[in-house]
Amino acid sequence: MAVDIKQIRAQFPALHQEVHGHPLIYFDNAATSQKPKMVVDAIAHYYNKENSNIHRGVHYLSQKATDKYELAREAIRRFINAPSTEEIIITRGTTEAINLVSSCLSKWLFQPGDEIIISAIEHHSNIVPWQMACEQSGAILKVIPVLDSGELDMNAYRNLLSDKTKFVTVNHISNALGTINPVEEITSLAHEKGALVLIDGAQATPHMSVDVQSLNADFYCFSAHKMYGPTGVGVLFGKKEILEKMPPYHGGGEMIKEVKFEGTTYNDLPFKFEAGTPNIVGGIGIEASIRFIEEIGIENIAQQEAELLAYATQRLKDIGGIRFIGEAKEKAGVISFIIDGVHPYDAGTILDKLGIAIRTGHHCAQPVMDRYSIPGTMRASFAVYNTKEEIDTFIEGVQKVKQLFT
Ligand code: 7TS
């Protein structure tokens, strides 16, 4: 094993507790990961010693807080290999990043009859903002279908693309199925038609190396809380030449250069898109979470999770009577499945009583459930701190559920 699991687990106080009298097994990492001590300490240290508003005071603390926030922006830039910090907008998370882009493009780019392409395996946060954009602008939503395997139908995608296509957006990794989408190919095909592209990387940045320059998407977004960082903060990367042309999202402090009643001029990038006092400590928390990931190495994290995925998939297959939802060749550490004849909610409730946290339901991807004609799935999703021993206990739990209900 490439990573020292014991040493990693020691950094997560939340993992060392009992739930319903059993040691906690936390397999709900696609919803949010647990936080290492270094992230919690960075947040506590900021509030204990450095708290101040940023970008406005001449005093010591304000300058210190500003420096730390801007260092966090630089760490984010390096983490995704963006060309410039002007292209790194700190948001409330993936959801806000997508709403920012959809709202600004509705005002600026989309015309009646234009087409926006999304995929059939998006999280609701990459569906609803585009439906709203269509309502506002008269654009039309098109959906790339998904094959039984959980892979996108790339032939159908090629056929959907046309001169009317203005925008394409897909997730990098599906939260409901674990499918890793061919985002470079999707992006370059869209660019051939002159369309802009946004990649929802919420499930990717915790698990794989992301280089926005080689992906070449126009926008890329993610949330800190799925990558060992705090909740309510995330990132929108956007290409400078597009961000410069885009109108602002929210109005207020920070995003202006000069305000007069006759009219206002807007601030330079990235501040034009960061109205109001930002989540300063959130930015500092992202920096700490990136440090945590980089100390282990994202390739080592990916390898550890791939081993867990392969092991858990095989052990579930060996039980029998399990239907896997999503069996793409390229998959991240997410297993969505159903035990024949057992409602996912009942199964999840019993596993919870055994101290095992998995997700059950539609995972904010209702169209995926409709596609497979199921009410929901059981979803186990892994992080670097999970172990094969935990999977063994989980398998015993699944067997217990099966015995009880079938
Ligand atoms: N996009 C994807 C692919 C996601 O998985 C999620 C959250 C989001 C967007 C929204 O992220 P947020 O941080 O703005 O809320 N996914 C999940 C999940 O799978 N279970 O709970 C949240």
Contact 33, 383 (CB under 8 A): yes
Q: Is the dihedral of CA 235, 241, 246, 247 positive or negative?
A: positive
Looking at the structure, give the CATH architecture of the domain made up of residues 5-31+297-405.
Answer: Alpha-Beta Complex (3.90)
Closest ligand 1 atom to Cα of 92: 14
Pocket test for ligand 1, best of 92, 94, 128, 235 (most atoms within 8 A of CB): 94
pLDDT at 1: 53
**Domain spanning 40-294 has what CATH number?**
3.40.640.10
Choosing from 104, 134, 221, 364, the catalytic residue is: 364
Residue nearest to atom 15 of ligand 1 (CA): 95
Helix (H) or strand (E) holding 168: strand 165-171
Residue nearest to atom 7 of ligand 1 (CA): 31
Residue nearest to atom 21 of ligand 1 (CA): 31
What are the CA-CA distances from residue 111 to residues 107, 108, 133, 138, 167 (Å)?
Answer: 9, 9, 10, 6, 12
Q: Is 221 a catalytic residue?
A: no
Q: Which residues of 378-403 are buried (b: 16+ CB within 10 A; e: fewer)?
A: bbbbbbbbbbeebbebbbebbeebbe
Domain map of the chain by residue range? 5-31+297-405, 40-294
Q: Bridge partners of 18?
A: 23
Contact 149, 167 (CB under 8 A): no
Strands 234-238 and 219-223: antiparallel
Closest ligand 1 atom to Cα of 122: 3
> Residue type at 396?
E
Helix (H) or strand (E) holding 249: none
Pocket of ligand 1 (CB under 6 A): 30-31, 93-95, 123, 125-126, 171, 175, 200, 202-203, 223, 363-364
CA of 186 to the centre of ligand 1 (A): 21
Condensed to tens digits (0 to 9), the pLDDT of residues 24-36 reads 999 999 999 999 9
Residue nearest to atom 5 of ligand 1 (CA): 175
Phi first, then psi, for residue 3 (nearest 5°) are: -120, 155
pLDDT at 56: 79
pLDDT at 346: 96
CA of 173 to the centre of ligand 1 (A): 11
CA of 74 to the centre of ligand 1 (A): 24
> The whole model's pTM is what?
0.98
- 5-31+297-405 and 40-294: same fold? no
Comparing C-alpha atoms, which of 201, 204, 242 is closest to residue 97? Answer: 201
Q: What is the mean pLDDT of each run of 10 residues along the chain (406 residues)?
A: 89 98 98 98 98 91 96 98 98 98 97 98 98 98 98 98 98 98 98 98 98 98 98 98 97 94 96 97 98 98 97 97 97 96 96 98 94 96 98 98 92
Pocket test for ligand 1, best of 128, 223, 289 (most atoms within 8 A of CB): 223
Condensed to tens digits (0 to 9), the pLDDT of residues 60-100 reads 999 999 999 999 999 999 999 999 999 999 999 999 999 99
Task: Give CB contacts under 8 A, 24+ apart, made by 252-255.
Answer: 252/276, 253/277, 254/55, 254/278
pLDDT at 213: 98
Comparing C-alpha atoms, which of 207, 135, 133 is closest to residue 169? Answer: 133
CA of 124 to the centre of ligand 1 (A): 8
